[in-house]
Structure 1
Amino acid sequence: MTVTIHSILNSVLWGLLLSIALSLLSRSKCSLCHMGTAPLIFLAGACLVRCCSPVEFAATQEVGTATLNHLHRFIGETAGTPLTEPWIYRIWAVGAAIWLVLWVPGYVYRLLSVQNLPISQDERINYFRRQHRIPNLRVAVTSRVDTPCVMGFWRETILLPDTAYTAKQLELILQHEYCHVKHRDGLLDFLLRILCTLFWWNPGIHICRVVITGLCDHRCDMEVLHTARPSAKRYYCKTLLTFASNRPGSSGQLAASSLKSRFYLILYKEGKGKRAWAGLVILIAAILWLFSYLVIFQPAYQPNSQDYTDYALSSGTIIYCNDGSYILKTEQGEVHLTAEAAQVMIADGFRMENNYIMEVPYP
């Protein structure tokens, strides 16, 4: 098991493809109503594993791709080797440090601010604590947030906007946010942010974080409304729309696309054949996941020379010999080529000379 430039690029490629497919499934009415959230959460975990393991194995088959030749040459000209070298770790460290600087100060500030907020002693909130036997549940009302949320990763605090609530609205909101606290979604979000920091170069993992956050909201919605009547479900959706309308141009789970997918799962009945549909999707995802490790895309031209600079070239001339072989002539010298390698390099922009060489200067 090794890590190379090509295994990293392969991880980015497959992680991005799988995460985009997962994002589409999590927003589709068909998949949500036929699968529910559990299979999608499983697929999100598999996608995270693929994004966080940019490795290749001894059994991995290399597949030549002519479109990667230019990228391969660029890597050779700038780095000098396709293998893992200190320059890779330096780039990774700089990117991770920048990401930490952009994320950690604001996150720590919000955590400290939450700890200093007074805990609400509203009678309706106290009744909710007694009803669910959670006397230590931390709930704070503040004008710093526009929508109910949970802050923290060890001792979570439910934050409520400083606005008027009906008794039914407050009950539904507290039930939803308490589901986040019960499932430690604050800690999950913190761990996902750590992964995004470590693998900042892979866009797939950032997409996975957004999808998993949305799936957590789907799961909480279904727990709250598991035995609810249709009228209660409609009232729940109206409550979500109320907070979304108070936050124009909102993003995250109150964005129009997110609300639409949440309403699918709340208002529509689950279709028949749920297990069969989920099993088919998971089977297809498993095949793609395994295939991503069994095959790795490499540049089509891979000479036998051990020195990478010998074939990371920007110019040269290919000469056809009288014995049917090819010679690559560059400033570094001359190298014999196979017919396949010569054709790939000609297609890649190398000049071809049809002159016959009567005597090849090689033993």
Structure 2
Amino acid sequence: MSVTVFSFVMSVLFSALFIVAIHMLRNQPLFLHSFGVHTIFGLYALCLFRTAVVLELPFTVPIGLNDMFSTGFETVWAAQISVGDSQIRVLLALCGIWAVISVTLIVQFLWKSWKVSRKAEWYSTNKDSRAERVLERVKNESWRMPAVSVCICPTLDIPMGTGLFRHRICLPEHEYTQEEMYYILKHEYTHFCNRDLTVKFLAHLFCCIFWWNPAVYLLKKDISQILEIKCDIRATEKFSKRERLEYLLTIVRVLERAESTGRTQPPMLSTGLASRKNQDDTRERFRMITAVPRSISRLCQGAFWTLAVTLVMLSYSFVLQPAFDPPVEDIYTNESVEEFSTDGAYISERADGSYSLVLSNGAIYDNLNRIALETYMNEGLKIRKE
């Protein structure tokens, strides 16, 4: 096993193709209703595996490409730029730019996330006794009980959850009914139970590292929406039809209040009950909550996952790389080496059991050894008995 430039290129190429394919599947309502959001999540996990494991495995077959591919690679590989009195390879400079921008984006992302956590700390003492009582009810109904606190944040216009380690639900300074408060806290608490902030954190880091790959932005957008749908489904799975309707109406009312205040969107590393940016995403969530899920057999699920894993493994079966003819000096190492064509040549089997190579120009090379004989036979030369 080894890591090469070509195995890295293949990893980026295949993971991008897989992300685009999953994005297309994810936008098919039939697939989403039949296989569910967990399948989409699992497929994206396979993509991340394909991106992270940049290896040429023992069974990987190198496929050499000539002409434009080889010429282009050789040009890029040998290209240099002048920096002062020094010459630096273009590929090395590009790797440096990639690293600098990636580190800058990661630092910027962590800094903004820290500021959000810091602001939540400021309002952590701004308690609301009614919200705390409702949160206790939500905790008692939950299958998992992470430590979560609730506070009032006047600068917000949409409820949100924040904090990778110190989980907080921050509520805007609005008057909510008892039902609205319950559905808001139920949604945000379910996010913490699902560890959705950890998933969003990893997805953002992935985008910061591979910022130059357009496919990762599809992944980030899809994961954010899938997390919301998964949270909605889990939060409402035991609700009656009336409770589901009230849950949806709560989202609508939160959006209406947010439109009237016109404040900023929740930060990147947070979960929000609703988003003003894309109304289509909200409509999709509504359809997933109200739609009756389609049942699909375990056989179909097993066949689908077998196909997905097989495609990922097949992507390791070959690697594209440039093919170059060896230099003449590597072939003709001394004066005893000569070149000839095997076109029209054949192998002559003598009566004494020896073999000779007969060329089309009449030249004869006697006493071929076993290795030479097998080599010429593999090249397609026929044996003629004398």
TM-score by length of 2: 0.68
CA displacement at 1:136 relative to structure 2: 5.6
Question: RCO greater where, 1 or 2, for CA within 8 Å and sep 6 or more?
Answer: 1
- Separation (CA, whole Å) in 1 of partners of 2:16 and 2:8: 12
| Displacement after TM superposition at 1:264 (Å) | 2.9
Q: Secondary structure at the match of 2:96?
A: helix
CA contact (8 A) 1:22 1:40 kept: yes
Structure-2 separation of matches of 1:197 and 1:137:
28
- Whole-Å separation in 1 of the counterparts to 2:125 and 2:28: 39
Name the CA distance, whole Å, in 1 between partners of 2:188 and 2:14. 34
1-side partners of 2:324 and 2:245: how far apart? 61
Report the counterpart of residue 264 of structure 1 in structure 2: 287
CA, structure 1 residues 204+160, in 2 after alignment: closer, same or farther (shift >3 Å)?
same
Aligned in 2, Cα 1:2/1:89: closer, same or farther, shift over 3 Å? farther
> CA–CA distance in 1 between the matches of 2:297 and 2:133?
38
Partner of 2:178: 167
With over 3 angstroms needed to count, the CA separation of the structure-2 counterparts of 1:295 and 1:161, relative to structure 1, is farther
8 A contact 2:146–2:192 mirrored in 1: no
Determine the structure 2 residue equivalent to 1:21. 21
What's the offset of the Cα at 1:203?
4.2
Q: What does residue 186 of structure 1 align with?
A: 197
Partner of 2:99: 93
Give the residue type in structure 1 aligned to 2:157.
Answer: D
**Pairwise CA distance, 1:206:** 4.3
- The corresponding residue for 1:304 is 326
2:246 to 235, 245, 266: 235
* Structure whose CA Rg is larger: 2
In 2 relative to 1, CA 70–260 (structure 1 residues): closer, same or farther, beyond 3 Å?
farther
- CA distance in structure 1 between the partners assigned to 2:254 and 2:167 by the alignment: 22
RMSD of the TM alignment (CA)? 3.4
- Does residue 128 (structure 1) correspond to residue 134 (structure 2)? The answer is yes
**Cα 1:61–1:141 shift into 2, 3 Å:** same
Q: Which amino acid aligns with 2:116?
A: R
Secondary structure of the 2:316 match is helix
State whether residues 29 and 264 of structure 1, in contact with CA within 8 Å, keep that contact through their aligned partners in structure 2: no
- Which of 110, 130, 146 aligns to 2:116? It is 110
Count of aligned positions: 306
Contact 1:11 1:50 in 2 (8 A): yes
Cα distance 1:76–1:13, how it changes in 2: closer, same or farther (>3 A)?
same
AA in 2 matched with 1:59: F
Deviation at 1:265, TM superposition (A): 1.9
Structure-2 change in CA distance of 1:101 and 1:71 (3 Å): farther
Match of 2:307 in 1: 284
Q: Distance in 2 between matches of 1:136 and 1:292?
A: 42
Query: Post-superposition shift, 1:123?
Result: 3.5
Q: 1:175 Cα deviation (Å)? A: 0.5
Query: Is the 8 Å Cα contact of residues 61 and 296 (structure 1) preserved in structure 2?
Result: yes
Q: Deviations over 1:125-170 (max 9, x none)?
A: 1222332357963112223333222111111111222323222121
Which segment drifts farther, 232-241 or 64-73? 64-73
Q: Partners in 2 of 1:14 and 1:241 — Cα distance?
A: 40
Q: Superposition pairs for residues 1-363 of structure 1, below 5 Å?
A: 1-64=1-64, 68-69=69-70, 71-78=72-79, 90-131=96-137, 132-133=139-140, 137-245=148-256, 246-247=258-259, 254=275, 255-299=278-322, 301-304=323-326
Deviations 1:307-339 (A, max 9, x none): xxxxxxxxxxxxxxx9799xxxxxxxxxxxxxx
Closer, same or farther: CA 298–164 of 1 in aligned 2, 3 Å = farther
Task: Report if the CA contact (8 A) 1:6-1:297 is conserved.
Answer: yes
Q: State the SS of the aligned residue for 1:270.
A: coil
Change beyond 3 A, Cα 1:61–1:129: same
Matched-pair contact (CA < 8 Å) for 1:26–1:261: no
Aligned CA distance change for structure 1 residues 22 and 229 (closer, same or farther; 3 Å): same
Uncovered stretches (5+) of structure 1, i.e. residues with no partner: 307-321, 326-363
Q: Which runs of 4+ in 1 moved over 6 A?
A: 248-253, 322-325
Of all paired residues, the percent bearing the same amino acid is: 23
TM-score normalised by structure 1 residue count: 0.72
| 8 Å contact from structure 1 (residues 35, 274) kept in 2 | no
